[in-house]
Amino acid sequence: MNVDKDLEKEVLTRLLHAHPNGLGKEVLDNYRGEKVVASALASLQDRGLIHHGHVTCSEAGEHSLNLPIKLSSAGVEAARKLDLQ
């Protein structure tokens, strides 16, 4: 799956600056659409950058979210690196 790096950076940055309890449905707010953002979140989860178990994928390829979404410690480090660029 090819994830848009700009979208990934935006999502990581938003999560970094979010309330410590994480982001709810507003994490999906983006002009690209909720499905694309959910796919980006799934990619971040696969790489260990958000807490495991918050994004699931059905057999039909539909993503569902277990809110709130929070960065893992690796995700915080990755987001901080991107935020400095």
Write down the pTM of the prediction.
Answer: 0.90
Q: How many domains does the chain have?
A: 1
pLDDT, greater one: 48 or 19:
48
For residue 1, pLDDT beyond 60:
no
Instruction: Enter the DSSP assignment of 50.
Output: B
Q: Look up the domain containing 46 and give its range.
A: 5-84
Per-residue model confidence as pLDDT tens digits over 33-85: 999 999 999 999 999 999 998 999 999 889 999 999 999 999 999 999 998 87
First to last CA, the chain: 25
The answer to whether 15 touches 71, Cβ cutoff 8 Å, is yes
Scanning 1-85, the segments in alpha helix (DSSP H) are 5-16, 34-46, 73-84
Look at residues 73, 24, 18 and name the one whose alpha carbon lies nearest to residue 51. Answer: 73
CATH of the domain at 42: 1.10.10.10
3-class DSSP state of 71: strand
